[in-house]
Amino acid sequence: MTESWVNSAERIGADLHLELSGPGGRRAALIRALRDAVRGGRLAPGTRLPPYRSLAADLGVARNTVADAYAELVAEGWLTARQGSGTRVADRAEPLRHAERVPIKAPPRARGPRHDLRQGAPDASAFPRAAWLASYRRALQQAPNEVFGPGDPAGRRELREALTEYLARARGVRTEPGRIVVCSGFAHALRLLFGGGVLRGPVAVEAYGLAFHRELLQTAGARTVPLPLDDDGARVDLLARERAVLLTPAHQFPTGGPLHAERRAAAVDWARARGGVVLEDDYDGEFRYDRKPVGAVQGLDPERVIHIGSVSKSLSPALRLGWMVLPERYVGAVLEAKGEREGWASVLDQLSLADFIVSGSYDRHVRRMRQRYRSRRDRLVAALAEHVPHIEVTGVAAGLHAVLRLPPGTERSAVKAATWQGVALDGLAEFRHPETDMPAADGLVVGYATPSEHAYGAALDALCGVLPSADRTPVAGLSRSRNPVTESTYDRNMTHACHVGQQKWDP
């Protein structure tokens, strides 16, 4: 047992006694001690906690131990963290009074999932706080006075120049700063292009994709036409009288796999012949594991492709930063749709991202996260191979999610079982275009990026426990496996699922 008085009166108003004890190491003990302090009322809502460096020195623990504990409690809702305000006890973290400890009839409370395996979100605890803060400080110190006045609808020149260099180097994009427009993300880009009247429908879309994007297009008056998928991606040979086609060529969402090179060229040829445009959603372009990088389609014809990207997966969706790389003929119309006083992305965040890219911090962060997500992918595949080897895993050569192919007729029951056990995930049917004649397939879309590192093993056990067995009955009685991925278990599930040209999508 370790007891420590934190001499932080100048920071939080009084000495704070924390008892670090129990199983799980010092990080887990610190999390428990802080939760207990909030529950007991010793840390009231709004109380500012010591900086993690100070608390680490007072407790005699590593700085990362305190930083990780704070991040976990922020994710759970016990604490809040804001730039310039420090880390504080959340307003809703009310202490549990003595009279409330054993209520006779506790009112029902809404509870979130115990294990979040939904697709689309990165590991929030891995946000590079120190490096981002360094870039933010440099950007703020070097910012000219004009930064604090009305901005440029196209976005800060510093960010557009940084993106020009980075996208050319990392994604094979051919552009210049004057053809980049900064936006708040992919959905914002679609709203500007179609809601702003820059483009009109009908729009061809992949038969499996985000319903939110289809609804956004339909709200803007653009009818969506589904394109079937096969082993080589979207069937662009079926494009006809549409005015645009929306593709995820780097890593098809959600089924996985890149768009075949011949089809990439065919999509551009169609746009040239029809006077149309290819909308390239650069989904998961940074995260690939078992294949060579796939360059952007935009590099084939910058005048027929609109390349759209963001930092929502690589950094955080909270930043609300994205970009459009536009053909020259669309730049003026997009800026007009954006407006002189449109709610732009924060100029200071734009400058920070520019510094983050130029300083090399963005590349280092992406490489680090690529290794982390690959490790999580491998653990997922190993757990499935051990406990439910009949479940086929596809779409895992890149990205932040996998598709688990299920026996026919079991998807709905698997999703219900997962919900009942507190596991949040998505059924493949949720992403299917309602008008496609492509045969339906049962499956689950499982994201492996969101859970914190310490909770990932339990999340995998819970997932395996709700999957149908070979005879379609639930798998039960699993024990947590912490063994690393071995070559044999890895190969058993991955040889047919991971490597380029072998992702089988055969509904």
CATH number of the domain within which 324 lies: 3.40.640.10
284 and 338 in a single domain? The answer is: yes
341 and 287 in a single domain? The answer is: yes
- What integer pLDDT is reported at residue 342 of this predicted model? 55
Return d(Cα 147, Cα 140) in angstroms, integer: 9
459 and 400 in a single domain? The answer is: yes
196 and 329 in a single domain? The answer is: yes
- What integer pLDDT is reported at residue 505 of this predicted model? 37
- What integer pLDDT is reported at residue 95 of this predicted model? 52
pLDDT in tens, 350-384: 999 999 999 999 999 999 999 999 999 999 999 99
For residue 335, name the pLDDT band (cuts at 50, 70, 90).
Answer: very high
Q: Per-residue pLDDT averaged across 279-291, rounded?
A: 83
95 and 140 in a single domain? The answer is: no
pLDDT in tens, 189-211: 999 999 989 999 899 999 999 99
Residue 506 lies inside a defined structural domain of this protein: no
CATH number of the domain within which 422 lies: 3.90.1150.10
340 and 432 in a single domain? The answer is: no
Yes or no: say if 204 and 242 are a contact pair by the CB < 8 Å rule: yes
- What integer pLDDT is reported at residue 501 of this predicted model? 32
Structure tokens at 364: 């280092």
304 and 444 in a single domain? The answer is: no
2 vs 332 pLDDT, higher one:
332
337 and 383 in a single domain? The answer is: no
4 vs 490 pLDDT, higher one:
4
Return d(Cα 447, Cα 400) in angstroms, integer: 6
Instruction: State which of 336, 362, 388 marks the end of a domain.
Output: 362
Domain that holds residue 43: 2-110
Instruction: State which of 110, 140, 158 marks the end of a domain.
Output: 110
Residue 121 lies inside a defined structural domain of this protein: no
- What integer pLDDT is reported at residue 13 of this predicted model? 42
Neighbours of 206 (CB within 10 A): 30
Instruction: State which of 58, 83, 110 marks the end of a domain.
Output: 110
Q: Which of 12-21, 106-115, 267-276 has the lowest mean pLDDT?
A: 106-115
User: Over 70: is that where the pLDDT of 336 sits?
Assistant: yes
386 and 342 in a single domain? The answer is: no
pLDDT in tens, 89-137: 888 655 544 444 444 444 444 456 889 999 988 998 899 999 999 999 9
Q: Is the pTM of this model over 0.85?
A: no
Burial 50-61 (b: 16+ CB within 10 A, else e): bbbebbbebbeb
- What integer pLDDT is reported at residue 111 of this predicted model? 58
Residue 503 lies inside a defined structural domain of this protein: no
pLDDT in tens, 287-331: 888 767 778 999 999 999 999 999 999 999 999 999 999 999 999
Residue 501 lies inside a defined structural domain of this protein: no
Residue 230 lies inside a defined structural domain of this protein: yes
237 and 263 in a single domain? The answer is: yes
Q: How many domains does the chain have?
A: 3
pLDDT in tens, 420-478: 989 999 999 999 999 999 988 999 999 999 888 888 999 999 999 889 876 654 443 33
Residue 74 lies inside a defined structural domain of this protein: yes
CATH number of the domain within which 38 lies: 1.10.10.10
288 and 382 in a single domain? The answer is: no
pLDDT in tens, 37-69: 888 788 888 888 888 788 888 888 888 888 888
Q: What is the dihedral of CA 68, 71, 75, 76, to 10 degrees?
A: 70
412 and 294 in a single domain? The answer is: no
- As a whole-number percent, the residues of the chain with pLDDT over 70 amount to 84
Q: Per-residue pLDDT averaged across 78-91, rounded?
A: 82
Residue 122 lies inside a defined structural domain of this protein: no
- What integer pLDDT is reported at residue 502 of this predicted model? 33
Residue 26 lies inside a defined structural domain of this protein: yes
Return d(Cα 375, Cα 360) in angstroms, integer: 23
For residue 9, name the pLDDT band (cuts at 50, 70, 90).
Answer: very low
User: Over 70: is that where the pLDDT of 480 sits?
Assistant: no
